[in-house]
Structure 1
Amino acid sequence: MGSRDSSELNSTRKSDRPLATADSNCPQSPNSRDIGTLGENLVADWLQQQGWEILHRQWHCRWGEIDIIALGKDEEIAKNRFLPNHTSPTLAFVEVKTRRPGNWDSGGMLAVSSTKQAKLWQTAEIFLSTRPDLANNSCRFDVALVMCEPSRRNTKQILPALTAANSQSAVAGNYRLTLQEYIRSAFSN
């Protein structure tokens, strides 16, 4: 690995990397990092439509990154007859997996392995240590699976803002992104 030490590698941010250049076969094709960000945008917009407040996007520390951190009412807890007076907001740590058709990992779900879950758990603990005002809220880990397919629409822009077709689908450039599944409380420690 050369002379780089681990502290230098840990400080490298994914978002600091330059965007990949488009290939000649698809001159308007964003790279996978861009597609992932578009998927995160779709999920963040959907969560806001559901009444959630987005606290952070792509929050990272040395252990990893959390795609979306949101604060809101957990409808399932609110409906629970054993907790009728539960009024404290829930903190959702959301992992977004955006995939193209024919992917190898069941739409992204297989990529949320036990190792990935442990990293997300550690990252969430570090986040909560920086925000003690949120530490007493109930927390959950959600997974959002987004499908990215070529769109029939052809535009000249490479990475335009998402335009909502409905609450779970959006078009970005030459791609249609669809929220396939949102899994609440997908895993726990």
Structure 2
Amino acid sequence: MASTYEQRRAVGVHGENVAADYLRAQGMQVLDRNWRCRWGEIDIVAQDADALVFCEVKTRRTTAYGTPSEAVTPQKAARLRRLAGLYLAEHRPHAGLVRIDVVAVLVPARGAATVTHVVGAA
């Protein structure tokens, strides 16, 4: 039997896959996934027309403790902005428009996952 950690990790990986597929279906190009540096991780980096988009993916099985997007606190948003700056310095120093989105994925016990895309969330 899988541990609780392994189960949560599997739900998170599934949510990131759902989010990446959703973004592609919206016409975005996924450029990078799970970019890491010593200060943290960016789940998805995508191109949306002329904007470079840093996406935080939050996946939940239920809303018992709030919606997935509510898990992005002001502190988490500040950390995402810092990580986006580090990514830009390393990969795209002359990027034009930049934004940070939240892709919230709710994975019910049965049925398809639902996606809520919050554009310019942080």
Provide TM-score, normalisation by structure 2.
Answer: 0.88
Q: Match for 1:132 among 56, 68, 92? A: 92
Structure 2: how far apart are the matches of 1:115 and 1:51?
30
Q: How far apart in 2 are the matches of 1:110 and 1:102?
A: 10
Paired with 2:18 and 2:92, the residues of 1 have a C-alpha distance of: 29
| Residues 1:178 and 2:84 are matched in the alignment | no
Q: 107, 115, 118: which is aligned to 2:67?
A: 107
Please give the residue correspondences for 1:5-154 in structure 2 after superposition, counting only pairs within 5 Å: 21-22=1-2, 31-73=7-49, 89-104=50-65, 106-132=66-92, 135-151=94-110
5+ residue gaps, structure 1: 1-20, 24-29, 74-88, 152-170
**Distance in 1 between the 2:8 and 2:109 partners?**
14
Superposed displacement of residue 143, structure 1? 0.6
Per-residue deviation, 1:109? 2.4
CA distance in 1, matches of 2:118, 2:63: 21
The ranges of structure 1 where at least 4 consecutive aligned residues each deviate by more than 4 angstroms after the TM superposition are none
TM-score, length-scaled by structure 1: 0.59
RMSD of aligned Cα (Å): 1.7
Q: Give the total of aligned pairs.
A: 120
Identity of aligned residues (%): 37
Gaps of 5+ in 2: none
Q: What is the identity, as a one-letter code, of the residue corresponding to 2:35?
A: W
